[in-house]
Amino acid sequence: ETHPRRTPRARRGAGGYVTMPPWAPVKITHVILDLDGTLINTEQLVDEVVGAVLRKHDASLDTKSIRNAIEGVRGMRPLDGSRIIIENLKLRKDGAADGPALTAEELLAETEVELNGRWGEVNTMPGAERLLALLRRHEVPTALATSTPAKYLSAKLASHPNLLQHVACVCTGDEVRRGKPDPSIFLLAAERLGVDDPSCCLVVEDTPLGCQAAKAAGMRVLAVPSIQNFNLYSGHADELCRSLYDVDPARWGLPSFDDWRELVPGMSLDRYLPLTTPIRMRGPVVKGFGRGSKMLGIPTANLDVAPLKLQADALAPGIYFGWAAVAKEDPRDVGGSVYRMVMSIGWNPFFDNAKKTIEPWLLHEFGGDFYDQELRLHVLGYIRPEANFTTIEDLIKRIHRDAEVAKTCLALEEFAKHADDPFLVEGLVPN
């Protein structure tokens, strides 16, 4: 049974007037989803493992060269990608200049051993289960089109065995002669869905190569990038959203989410998305880039991402609100209390960070810094995606607006009650 065709829904623009997307009218009846980097967060694990194997065969490779090599094949079938990486990096076994060339099969076998023992670490992408639930609830016919070979699929989904239980059909990379960026896998998905007109399909993809394949299949393409260079998606995506939280299916004539809330219903442009499961994280305050206080006048208390990878991966890059507590552990006397906070997590497009950061701003005037003291964060809601700004003044203005949204949200009973969460207050010595 196909989803009934419908006229695209209008949405209210920044001035409150009704607008339609520039590609309207469209009649999307089916959705096709990618897997890696779209529904499950395998990309970081694969990057880590493949990078280590590449260094084994060429210790001279720097981080940038490895990242570029891996990102250049992201979205391809594993064997196809391995072949291109070897060619581009001119890899030889164990780095011996006069040794035999490394084969794609050998590179894949080495990475497979390590990955097979670690697929259980893979989490769903933030917002993935929410999107799948919406499509299931409204009976939108949905397919999976993944470059992953069938023999790896169950291992990748070991920690989430029910994720695809309501997906109408699954197409894997070993079922087609040519992988992405060839359109074959998307055309196979459309065929299995019983679709006659590919333009009625909306593809959600995270890689430029995947978007290129979907566009070549004649489908509409929504990109949720796993690569920070958004220019690579130009010409291949009809819409780009920074995370699945920001996807608005109504722009495509599909059912809309009903969990976004306005601060003042019907009267406010400021919205927030309560998290289904609050995220808790703790760690010592570390030194950041020094720009929060010096450049922005907004002192942040940064946390190290590395030991908090599990929690950080559960949050899409963006701006959040919640509560924070600083343990009172030294004579500087800044701890012992719970504070409102607004937090940025991600790469901060304005400053083009090279690595992911966690930068909470505690909405309180402190008498000094508190490096190395334990900071506890209880993250409750999402405000907006990361964004770039034309001027630093615009950035500062937006951050202060985010703080006002956070304060308003945290005054609501559903969020205010979390200030007494045992995770925050246990062991605190009040000032």
Catalogue the active-site residues: 34, 36, 359
Contact between residue 148 and residue 172 where contact means Cβ atoms under 8 Å apart: yes
Cα distance between residue 343 and residue 366, in whole Å: 17
How many CB atoms lie under 10 A from the CB of residue 52? 13
Provide the residue type at 271 as one letter. Answer: R
Q: What SS3 class is residue 80? A: helix
Our CA angle for 168, 174, 201, nearest 5°, is 40
CA angle 199, 210, 179 (to 5 degrees): 100
Q: Quote the CA–CA distance of 162 and 255 in Å, as a whole number.
A: 23
Amino acid identity at 365 = E
Residue 203, amino acid: V
Distance between CA 95 and CA 58 in Å, rounded? 5
- 349 token code pair: 């497009």
Rounded Cα gap, residues 364 and 374, in angstroms: 17
Note whether 338 and 380 are within 8 A (CB): no
Work out the angle between the directed axes of helices 184-193 and 208-216 (0-180°, nearest 10): 60
Report the distance separating Cα 83 and Cα 388, nearest Å: 36
From residue 390, alpha-carbon distances to 110, 118, 354, 393, 398 in Å are 45, 42, 20, 8, 12
Phi, psi values for residue 51, rounded to 5°: -60, -40
How many other C-beta atoms can be found within 10 angstroms of the C-beta atom of residue 154? 10
